[in-house]
A = this chain, B = another copy of it.
């Protein structure tokens, strides 16, 4: 074991970033490959990834199963897991889930802030829960081994997804509301239900999810992890899902927030004055800063075993169980 895994990133991928992943000893990164892209547009994103894998075979490899992460670690590469942040790539066609599974997609959010065909997002006024199609999609994702991610979903929808899914689910990138009151962060009820059902929570380092935003200290971040461990009675359900959007231009955060669903601009967690990407805290701006988190967790008093778990081994065991083979 001793894996280092980041449970969610959406960087402006480049050779520089792939090198930094190896510098940070990252064995695996769950990479978002689509937000609001439809089926055909997401295929174009996958084509781009195929070209990266072809160009940098010594640095990155596409992971279909946990076994691929193990091999990547052994060979000094970073394994990339593909995920969608919205269900847009399956359009209204449930059979596209298997097509995407065949193409190596392993994680999908049922919603992204807004109501989707499947469930309610955390920015909606009313949370009507899992829809008729949503129930069918959960069953099919369970059958295939595509992980359900409710990071951007509303409370009731999230609790219903945990209940309805025959497999544990994930909240791959969010923090507890008790620490930072943000629409995207999660209640004690959700965090406990997630952990009790065997699910995984990835802590986000996106400033809008952090106490004191960009000024959040490493110590504050690590103390939050300790308090969450206290809440659920252990660290085995905890990991990092940094939400790192390294090197992305501000047009990307506008795309994430607005897609093609609104003609007026929605600023999401930002505001008209602060419309762009917020500045990352100084201790986590690139993949090689993973070492800072390790040191922070040590200073907070976690054991080596707990730190290894939080920094990757917990994700590894979870992926191993959920992705099957």
- A103 → B minimal CB distance (Å): 5
Bound CA span A99–B43, Å: 8
On whether A95 and B39 interact (CB within 8 A), knowing A103-B102, A103-B103, the answer reads: no
**One of B50, B96, B99 near A98 (C-beta < 8 A):** B50
**One of B40, B46, B96 near A47 (C-beta < 8 A):** B96
Contacts of A278 in B (CB 8 A): none
Interface residue A276 (Cβ < 8 Å from any Cβ of B): no
Chain B's closest residue to A143 (CB) is: B54
Contact assessment for B103 and A51 in the assembled complex, using a CB-CB cutoff below 8 Å: no
Contacts of A47 in B (CB 8 A): 93, 95-96, 98-99
Bound CA span A158–B282, Å: 61
Contact assessment for A96 and B50 in the assembled complex, using a CB-CB cutoff below 8 Å: no
Interface residue A104 (Cβ < 8 Å from any Cβ of B): yes
**One of B39, B46, B51, B102 near A40 (C-beta < 8 A):** B39
**One of B93, B95, B98, B102 near A102 (C-beta < 8 A):** B102
Contacts of A51 in B (CB 8 A): 95
Contact assessment for A50 and B103 in the assembled complex, using a CB-CB cutoff below 8 Å: no
Bound CA span A6–B241, Å: 50
Bound CA span A3–B169, Å: 44
Contacts of A40 in B (CB 8 A): 39-40
Bound CA span A43–B38, Å: 14
| Highest count of chain B CB atoms <10 Å: which of A93, A95, A103, A104 | A95
- A56 → B minimal CB distance (Å): 16
**C-beta contact mask, A213-243 vs B, less than 8 Å → 1, else 0?**
0000000000000000000000000000000
Contacts of A43 in B (CB 8 A): 39, 96, 99
Contacts of A103 in B (CB 8 A): 99, 102-103
Chain B's closest residue to A46 (CB) is: B99
- A102 → B minimal CB distance (Å): 5
On whether A102 and B104 interact (CB within 8 A), knowing A39-B40, A40-B39, A40-B40, the answer reads: yes
Bound CA span A46–B96, Å: 10
- In residues 43-70 of chain A, which contact B (Cβ within 8 Å)? 43, 46-47, 50-51
Bound CA span A51–B47, Å: 26
- A324 → B minimal CB distance (Å): 15
- A192 → B minimal CB distance (Å): 36
Bound CA span A295–B216, Å: 81
Bound CA span A40–B95, Å: 12
- A36 → B minimal CB distance (Å): 18
Bound CA span A104–B51, Å: 18
- 16 A-B pairs besides A39-B40, A102-B103 with CB distance below 8 A are A39-B43, A40-B40, A43-B96, A43-B99, A46-B99, A47-B96, A47-B98, A47-B99, A50-B95, A50-B98, A50-B99, A51-B95, A99-B103, A102-B102, A102-B104, A103-B103
Q: Can you list 14 A-B pairs with a CB-CB distance of less than 8 A?
A: A39-B40, A39-B43, A40-B40, A43-B99, A46-B99, A47-B96, A47-B98, A50-B95, A50-B98, A50-B99, A51-B95, A99-B103, A102-B103, A102-B104
